Amino acid sequence: MKKRTRKRLEVFLEFLIFGIVLGITEDLLAIWFATDAHITWHLFVIVLAITIPFAIIGELIVDNIKWFGWIRKQAKNGAKHLK
């Protein structure tokens, strides 16, 4: 595996793991504050199953779209339309 590819994979996995941990924490806190449900292993597994796909999709979108370039391009096009 090329060094650059390996580095991108490492960064992707770091952010993915952080996103999963943060997503699980956020969901469990929301359930705990909003309902009378007790946090159990069964509930944890359900939250994990829901969190993982969203974390993967989020990372793929964030990593593959050049957001700042896209925003600058939209801003320039918008400014041309205003003149």
Look up the pTM and report it.
0.67
What is the pLDDT averaged over residues 19-31? 94
- To 10 degrees, what angle do helices 3-34 and 41-64 make? 140
- The contacts of residue 33 (CB under 8 Å, 6+ apart) are none
How many structural domains is the chain composed of? 1
Q: Contact 19/48 with Cβ under 8 angstroms? A: no
Average pLDDT of the residues in 47-65: 84
Residue 55's CB is within 10 A of a number of other CB atoms, namely 20
Q: Which domain holds residue 53?
A: 3-82
Residue 3 corresponds to which amino acid? K
